[in-house]
Structure formats: C-alpha cells, structure tokens
Amino acid sequence: MSEDVRWLADEERVAWLALADLITRLPAVLDAQMLRDSNITLFDYFAVSALSMSPGRMLRMSELARFTSSSLSRLSNVVKRLEQRGFVRREPDPANGRYTVAILTDAGWDLVVAAAPGHVAAVRKYVIDGLSGDQITALRSVASHVTERIQASGDC
C-alpha cells in the first residue's frame, strides 16, 4: 500500500482507456456475429479453425489449449459440446494414451468453411478496413509487445 505509485501520464491514460474500451467491446461484437450467423461462440470458432489448419485436421487437447490460450478445463467443456453437436470427435492418442486427440469431423470442416467468410468480413469491418497500412503495422507491433510481456510474466 505504498504511496509511490507511478500513475499514468495523460497520453498513457488516454491510450489505455481506448484499449480498455476495445478489449471489452471487440470480443462482444465478434462473438455476437458468430453466434448469430453460425450458432457457435467466437471461442468455438477459434478452436475448430485451429483444427482445420492442422495436419490431419487434428490436435492434442493440450496443444489446442495453447493455440487458443485457454485452460484445459475450459477447452474440455467446449470440445465436449462440439462433440455432442457432431463437429469434433475425441480419441486417445495411439502413440501415447495420456493424450487425447481432438479431430475435426466433415461436419466440423463444413462449419469452418461456412463461418469463415462472415468472420473475416467482421474483422475487416471493425478492425482492418478502418486502418492505414502504417496503422496495421503499428497494431501488429504493439499487440505483439503486449502479448510477449504477458507471456514473459508467466502469469498466463
């Protein structure tokens, strides 16, 4: 409870408030689009999309958890629901029974193919198409710096 807090300077505070607004609203609108148009959450989409781009359209649960920056517990619940809906199936890894492999079904592939255009359009609409080339470069740089600092902190 020390008094020597380094408060944010004006430019810093304005930038942070803008980012705080972004991180509360951007996920909400992208999630709403996905839910409305494809009846899956944005997180579901990230998961099946990651599977669709993997060799054999499959990943170990623990790998998929890293790709989606989620806990194994959350992912397990999500994949269970996706499996109940026929988009994914799970099998023990033949190479090592401790692992579970999540495999995208044909229906899951069709889901990704159907959902991708709307998702990309939303990303363009809310983010990309409003930015100059320089701003896109700056965005990549800033976002990477932030995620690297989160990574480095170990507070994953």
* 48 contact choice in a second copy, DNA, none (CB below 5 to 8 Å, kind-dependent): none
Taking the C-alpha atoms of residue 124 and residue 111, their distance in angstroms, rounded to an integer, is: 20
Taking the C-alpha atoms of residue 108 and residue 88, their distance in angstroms, rounded to an integer, is: 6
**Nearer of residues 17 and 86 to a second copy, judged by Cβ:** 17
Say how far residue 116 (Cα) sits from the centre of its chain: 14
Q: Which of residues 43-72 bind a second copy (CB under 8 A)?
A: 46, 68-70
Enumerate the β-bridge partners of residue 100: 92
> To the nearest whole angstrom, how small is the minimum distance from the Cβ of residue 68 to DNA?
10
Residue 57, amino acid? R
Residue 26 interacting with a second copy (CB under 8 A): yes
Q: Which of residues 35-64 bind DNA (CB under 7 A)?
A: 35, 41, 43, 60-62
Q: Which of residues 91-130 bind a second copy (CB under 8 A)?
A: 114, 116-117, 120-121, 123-128, 130
Torsional sign, CA 64, 145, 30, 120: negative
